[in-house]
Structure 1
Amino acid sequence: MKKIFFLSTISAVALMTACKKDLNQVPISTSTTATFYLQPSDFLQASNAIYADLHNYPNRLQNLSEIRSDNIYGVSVTVRDWDPINDFSPSLPANAYVTEAWTTDFNGIFRANTLLDQLAKNGSLVGSATLATRLQAEAKFLRAFFYFDLVRYFGKLPIIDHPVSAAEANTISRSPVADVYKLITSDLQFAIANLPGSYTGVDVGRATKYSAEALLAEAYMAKSGPTYGIEGPGLASNEWNLALPLLQDIITNGGFVFNPNYANIFAYTNQGPAVNKESVFDVIYTSGISGTSDLYGASYPWNLTPNGYFLSLKDTKSNGSLEIIPVSPDLASSYAATDVRKAATIYTAGYTNAGSTENRPFFKKWLDVSKLSSVLSRFDWGIDYIAIRYTDVLMMKAECILHGAPGSQSDVDAIVNQVRTRAGLPSITGVTLPQLFDERRREFADEGLRWFDLQRSGNLLTIMNAWIAKDDAQKAIKPAIANYIIYPVPQREIDTTPGLYTQNPGY
């Protein structure tokens, strides 16, 4: 499935090169659009091109969520792009990771808008009303996915729900977070009503009704989080009761299965929604396509793995981070001796390269060094990223119940103990919200959820500042303040049309 699915993207990606990666350009020129959408395969390729903008999503989660959180202590010898992320520097507007998040997500939004526009104008050319509606639902799911990613990082956003010219883009200011959530909610409600529950053949891996339900539940929960006095993702809306039925439908009717083997969830032999029943929605990758590995293969498995480790294995083509980005001592020491998740997530054995020994631990959940001989380059890892995992659905249900949605303490305890039993830990009773988030920290380490969990917990500032006091041996990290819960608007967006955007406070 994966090779066919992504190879069909190539011509669409090529045509989409008129797509601007900044906000102030037209996503596709009028002439290109007019000559492209002529037959059903064109609409499918355009849909695939939207999915292609998910390619860097897991790297972004690692760079802007894991590294920002108490899971990483990433102080480098030479200042790297991740250092100001980790140490709460106010000088982030020009940071490459911050700019990439804004640029890539809006590129995906522009592609979604273009396809939606063409379906409205020329949907009859798809040849099937059912397929046309499904493609519309997929485009809306993906547009909501990109906007949800953006709102959790940046707060207020320009709302663009149709193709715009450069002149129009230069007049669209940032809208309140509540309005962004309205678009996300509307798009996902349409997706839920019009996406199938599953696919067969080459379509396996596309968004389903259940992935849309999970994403909408996440949006309701993020929106229900505290405001911290900023214009960020939390609006204290108390919509936990809206999230719970969506999660319950996934649990009851989605056909997903809680994998009793934690390490197997991330095994290269357990790939894709058709095989991995923990997978509610994946970002799909394919390795081994010569000359195009950077288009189809993944780089996130090595993103938090130091290059020195690969060199110690006598591998020179995979590469890794320029310096080690260590797992924080606080996280590493938080695993019980019997917790199998630590060995599956963190490399602790140390390594020696060029006569230098490094003993600090690093994340390796997605890395299988037995594949080094088969990958073509550092961009060619062939493991799918589980963007929405079934265990997360279960634990989000527990969180909603603890916030007052229908359910009992025994329901919460049963979910958490199912997770703990798989990890090799004893059962507990009377699970509280802080205990739930503490369990989530170890369960989803290296999956990019920690910063968003901290946002939602209401305790982000308390937890982060306590961690800084404990782990920051070099005294390099600034105190966490509310303004740093979200990131700055990239400076080049501020500079493009002076006065259109106001920078987020604190930057």
Structure 2
Amino acid sequence: MASGNLFNNSSEFVQFNTLQFQTNDENILGAWASCYGVVANSNILILTLPQINHPNVSEDVKNNALGEAHLMRALAYFNLVRFFGPVPIVTNTADHIQNPQLNTNRVEDVYQFIENDLLFAVDNLKEKTRGGNYKDNARVSSGSAKALLAKVYLYQKKYTEARMMAEQVINSGEFKLLSTEVPGTEFGDLFLPVYNNNEESIIAWQWMPGIYFYGSSLNTQYAGNKNLTEASYAGVVGPAQDMINNAFEPGDKRRKETFMLPGDFYPKLSASANFDGTGAVTLGYTMPAIDQDGGTNFAQGSGAAMKKYVIGRSNPAITGAYTGASNGFTSQNTYILRYAELLLIHAESIIGSQTGSTSDASALASFNKVRTRAGLAPKTTITFDDVFRERRAELAAENDYWFDLGRIDFAKAKAILENQDRGTKEFPQKITSLPITTLIYPYPANELLANPKLREDPVPYIFN
């Protein structure tokens, strides 16, 4: 939302529209707490698994489980360092329960810690080839760790290492693009539960349908009206005006699969006859010309509605079975990393800077695979800005654009953010002067109270 891809007009999320972040915001606290929760659980596994000595638990099984734990801890710290900058590195959570006051560590040390965890995961996770039996694809692999490591290298501008790791994954043949490399599929299938853990999925959150907070709520959050949900509400977010008007080139097939406009038809979505969720449920949905209020404002006043991660009413053949008993929580995976992104990482790593360009054949091959799947003409030369724009279109509403803005020159990011229309369809609004000087969030107020050392300068981490 802060990046200008999504929009919510309520007071709860206003700071993500204005970028006037508050330390007492529950969403910022949630980001911190959830990441450190993953760190704590990973630490327990990393410390206790080696102690298991049972004839039914082989070393291969233990090593693979340890690889998973190291990957998850790395992912948590990757999110923490991108959200907050310097953060404390904790390897034994129990050591700090009684005294949670500890210094933050330098950003470069956090990244080194992430690299170390991912290199361990590369060496200990199983290798696999993704196939049509999607249940077998759910767990991460050595290739998953390599792909995430390529992204981590890219964020540090370690272009040679990022290219090497990306090419190892590409050359392995483990992953494929849906649609162009998997016959009988299309781009929009990426965001339907029947295609969970498909050939393109590298890392994804796995959800349990019908159980409150164990399932994904994105169908409810993103669907424009209750007729597309099994819940008591809908339309918590809508597409932002800047994404509607500037993220996609004419003819880009991804636009229709990212957000809906009146008249768009979706043959795989089931919806009820009435906006309030009542009436007969039928397969095949056309976004109407008039919204439930008799106007054309639709979700959050955007004049449109989200499509990505919207799966419609329960239809077991497409969505899996889920109900309204727990507000329509679904089994739809949430992507952390897709093969399409890895191809763009590969192309960017060959460009090798945020100002350069290339006509390298392998860079063009990776870039144009993503672009031509979207129905766009291939390019013969690409710049960093080409890849940057392609990343926004490909990964829109997948929680990456804010981080992409955070890794480019701040003056450039500032200009992009100040040029965005961050209002509604009827009431445009811009940030005339960006109120922040860096694209990282403040530490949560509760954490600052519990650990005043967060205010101190970061210290080097002592690696064993």
TM-score by length of 1: 0.73
- Report the Cα distance in structure 2 between the residues aligned to 1:127 and 1:470, rounded to whole angstroms: 56
Residue 455 of structure 2 aligns with an amino acid whose one-letter code is T
Separation (CA, whole Å) in 2 of partners of 1:314 and 1:88: 31
| Shift in alpha-carbon separation, 1:141–1:456, aligned structure 2, 3 A | same
Structure 2 counterpart of 1:181, from 111, 115, 118:
111
Matched residues in 2 for 1:243 and 1:494: separation?
Answer: 35
Aligned pair count? 408
Partner of 2:248: 335
Query: What secondary structure is seen at the aligned counterpart in 1 of 2:335?
Result: strand
For the pair 1:87 / 2:34, whether they are aligned, the reply is no
Match of 1:71 in 2: 5
By how many angstroms is 1:73 displaced?
4.4
Partners of 1:256 and 1:390 within 8 A in 2: yes
User: Given that residues 423 and 430 in structure 2 are in contact (C-alpha distance below 8 angstroms), is that contact kept between their aligned partners in structure 1?
Assistant: no
Unmatched runs of 5 consecutive residues or more in structure 1? 1-66, 225-238
1:230-257 residue CA offsets vs partner (Å, 9 max, x unmatched)? xxxxxxxxx1111111111111114211
1:365 positional shift: 0.9
Aligned to 1:463: 416
Once the two structures are TM-superposed, the CA of residue 484 in structure 1 deviates from its matched residue by: 3.9
Is 1:367 aligned to residue 310 of structure 2?
yes
RMSD value over aligned CA atoms?
3.0
Q: Give the 3 Å change call, closer, same or farther, for CA 470–364 of structure 1 in structure 2.
A: closer
8 Å contact 2:215–2:330 — kept in the other structure?
Answer: yes
Q: Quote the Cα distance in structure 1 between the aligned partners of 2:440 and 2:59.
A: 41
Distance 1:126 1:370, change over 3 A: same
Unaligned segments of structure 2, at least 5 residues: 181-185, 263-288, 458-464
Q: Which residue identity does 2:101 align to in structure 1? A: T
The corresponding residue for 2:209 is 287
* More divergent stretch after superposition (416-425 vs 364-373): 364-373
Superposition pairs of residues 119-134 of structure 1, within 5 angstroms = 119-123=49-53, 127-134=57-64
Identity %: 25
Aligned to 1:150: 80
Superposition TM-score, scaled by structure 2 size: 0.79
Tell me the residue number matched to 1:348: 261
Letter in 1 for 2:83: Y
Q: CA deviation at 1:86?
A: 2.1
1:479–1:325 CA distance, 2 compared to 1 (3 A) = farther
Q: Name the structure 2 match of 1:255.
A: 174
Q: Secondary structure at the match of 1:485?
A: coil
Which moved further from structure 2: 358-367 or 382-391?
Answer: 358-367
In the aligned structure 2, how far is the partner of 1:124 from the partner of 1:424? 54
Q: SS state of the match for residue 156, structure 2? A: helix
Query: Helix, strand or coil: the match of 2:437?
Result: helix
TM-superposed deviation, 1:468: 5.2
Structure 2 distance, partners of 1:87, 1:419, is 33
Distance 1:437 1:477, change over 3 A: same
Partner of 1:15: none
- SS state of the match for residue 291, structure 2? strand
Separation of aligned partners in 1, 2:167 and 2:293: 53
Residue matched to 2:437: 483
> 1:8 aligns to what?
none
SS in 1 for 2:455: coil
**For residues 279 and 169 of structure 1, what CA distance do their matches in structure 2 show?**
40
Distance apart, 1:98 and its partner CA: 0.6
Q: Is the 8 A contact 1:330 1:471 kept in 2?
A: no
Question: SS of the counterpart of 1:352?
Answer: coil
Distance 1:403 1:169 in 2: 44
Within a 5 Å distance, the mapping from 1:53-68 to structure 2 comes to 67-68=1-2
Distance in 1, Cα, partners of 2:338 & 2:249: 23
Hey, what's the Cα distance between the residues in 2 that align with 1:223 and 1:281? 21
Give the aligned partner of residue 320 of structure 1. Answer: 234
Q: Does 1:191 align with 2:121?
A: yes
Aligned to 1:454: 405
1:152 partner amino acid: R
Residue type matched to 1:247 in 2? A
2:277 is matched with none
> Which AA in structure 2 matches 1:363?
M
Q: Deviations over 1:209-238 (max 9, x none)?
A: 0111111111111122xxxxxxxxxxxxxx
Is 1:380 aligned to 2:329, yes or no? Answer: yes
- In structure 1, give the amino acid aligned to 2:314: K
Q: Give the corresponding residue for 1:58.
A: none
Aligned residue in 2 for 1:494: 448
User: Offset at 1:152?
Assistant: 0.6
Match of 1:302 among 220, 225, 239: 220
Displacement after TM superposition at 1:398 (Å): 0.2
Give secondary structure in 2 for the equivalent of 1:302.
helix
Q: Counterparts of 1:367-446 in structure 2 under 5 Å?
A: 367-371=310-314, 374-377=321-324, 378-403=327-352, 408-446=359-397
Whether 2:144 is the aligned partner of 1:205: answer: no
Structure 2 CA distance, aligned partners of 1:435 and 1:214?
A: 21
Mapped partners of 1:253, 1:193: distance in 2: 15
What amino acid sits opposite 1:427 in the alignment? Answer: P
